[in-house]
C-alpha cells in the first residue's frame, strides 16, 4: 500500500527537501503540500492523506492550531510534528493537540521514513530524546496565559511599570506575576526566567 503524505511547512525549500527524502521510497509519495496551518486544514479535508508532516512555526495558523483543527474534524488523522523546536512545552502542546509523533528537523532520513511508516500503521513515535525532554519536567507546572504574556514582555526588556501599562494592570499585580513565574520556572531572576522559557519553548524569540 502506498502511503500518501501531506507536507506542511512555510518554507518551500524545506518542503522540497522532504519530498526529495521521500522520492526514493517505493511505498511513500508526497500527495500534497501546504505553506501554513490554514492551507493544511483545507488540504487535509480535500486530499485525506495517510500521514501529515506538520511544522509548528507558521503564519496565519501555527502547527499546533492546525493539528487541533484537523484532529477535531478528523479524529483518525495521523500527524507527525516535524519542527526545529525541541522544548518540552512545544512537545507537550503538539502531543496534547493530537500529534502521534514528534520529530526534530535534524532527524536522519532513515528515522523519518521509519516514523512515517510506523504512524501510517497506527503507532505513536516518540524518540528517546523527546521522551527524555518531557520526563525532565514531570510533573508539569504550567504558566497561566497571563503569566506567559508577562514573560514575553519581560523578554523584550520591559520594566514592571511598562508591562503594567501594556496589560492594563498595576505594577504591583505585575510584580506578583513575575514572582509566580520565577517560582514556577525555578529561576533566580528575570534573565534566568527568560533563558529557561526559551529553552523549554514556553516563549520563542519571534513571539
pLDDT in tens, 9-57: 999 999 999 999 998 899 999 999 999 999 999 999 999 999 999 999 9
Question: Cell 502506498 identifies what position?
Answer: 2
Single out the residue in 105, 136, 167 at which a domain terminates: 136
Residue 141: pLDDT band by 50, 70, 90 thresholds?
confident
Residues 29 and 99 in one domain: yes
Q: Region 93-99: what's the mean pLDDT?
A: 96
State the cell numbers at 16: 522540497
Q: Does 207 reside within a domain?
A: no
165 domain residue, yes or no: yes
Q: Say which CATH number the domain at 73 has.
A: 3.40.50.2300
Beta strands in the chain (DSSP E): 3-8, 28-34, 51-54, 79-83, 101-104
Q: Percentage of the chain surpassing pLDDT 70?
A: 100
> Looking at the structure, do residues 183 and 132 belong to the same domain, yes or no?
no
Q: What is the secondary structure of 81-136 as a DSSP string?
A: EEES---HHHHHHHHHHT-SEEEETT--HHHHHHHHHHHHTT--B--HHHHHHHHH
184 inside domain: yes
Same-domain status, 84 and 19: yes
pLDDT at position 145 over 70: yes
Per-residue pLDDT, averaged over 152-163, amounts to 96
| Residue 206 reports pLDDT greater than 80 | no
Lowest mean pLDDT among 32-46, 110-124, 134-148, 186-200: 134-148
Q: What is the pLDDT of residues 124-140, one digit of tens each?
A: 999 999 999 888 887 78
User: What total of structural domains would you count in the chain?
Assistant: 2
Helix (H, G, I), strand (E, B) or coil at 70: helix
Residue 25: the pLDDT is: 93
pLDDT of residue 125: 96
pTM of the model: 0.86
Confidence of residue 116 (pLDDT cuts 50, 70, 90): very high
Q: Which residues contact 31 (CB under 8 A, 6 or more apart)?
A: 4, 5, 6, 47, 49
163 Cβ partners below 8 Å, 6+ apart?
150, 153, 154, 174
Predicted confidence (pLDDT) at residue 71 exceeds the cutoff of 70: yes
Domain boundary among 117, 136, 155: 136
Question: What's the average model confidence in pLDDT over 54-83?
Answer: 97
Report strand pairing: 79-83 vs 101-104: parallel
**Burial, 26: exposed, middle or buried (Cβ in 10 Å; 0-12, 13-18, 19+)?**
exposed
Q: Which residue segment(s) compose the domain that 7 sits in? A: 3-136
Answer for the pair 100, 125: CB distance below 8 angstroms, yes or no.
Answer: yes
Query: Of 136, 163, 186, which one is at a domain's C-terminal end?
Result: 136
153 pLDDT higher than 80: yes
User: Looking at the structure, do residues 123 and 153 belong to the same domain, yes or no?
Assistant: no
The overall average pLDDT reported for the chain is 95
User: For residue 177, what is its C-alpha cell?
Assistant: 506575576
Amino acid at each position: 500500500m502506498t502511503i500518501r503524505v501531506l507536507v506542511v511547512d512555510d518554507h518551500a525549500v524545506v518542503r522540497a527537501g522532504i519530498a526529495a527524502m521521500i522520492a526514493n521510497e517505493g511505498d511513500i509519495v508526497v500527495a500534497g503540500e501546504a505553506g501554513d496551518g490554514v492551507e493544511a486544514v483545507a488540504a487535509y479535508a480535500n486530499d485525506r492523506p495517510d500521514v501529515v508532516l506538520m511544522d509548528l512555526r507558521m503564519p496565519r495558523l501555527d502547527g499546533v492550531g492546525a493539528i487541533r483543527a484537523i484532529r477535531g474534524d478528523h479524529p483518525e488523522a495521523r500527524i507527525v510534528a516535524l519542527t526545529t523546536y525541541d522544548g518540552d512545552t512545544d512537545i507537550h502542546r503538539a502531543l496534547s493537540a493530537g500529534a502521534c509523533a514528534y520529530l526534530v528537523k535534524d532527524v536522519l532520513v532513515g528515522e523519518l521514513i521509519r516514523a512515517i511508516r510506523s504512524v501510517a500503521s497506527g503507532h505513536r513515535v516518540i524518540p528517546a530524546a523527546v521522551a527524555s525532554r518531557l520526563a525532565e519536567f514531570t510533573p508539569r507546572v504550567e504558566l497561566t496565559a497571563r503569566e506567559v504574556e508577562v514573560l514575553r514582555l519581560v523578554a523584550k526588556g520591559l520594566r514592571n511599570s511598562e508591562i503594567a501599562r501594556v496589560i492594563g494592570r498595576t505594577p504591583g499585580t505585575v510584580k506578583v506575576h513575575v514572582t509566580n513565574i520565577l517560582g514556577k520556572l525555578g529561576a533566580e531572576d528575570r534573565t534566568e526566567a527568560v533563558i529557561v522559557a526559551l529553552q523549554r519553548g514556553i516563549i520563542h524569540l519571534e513571539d
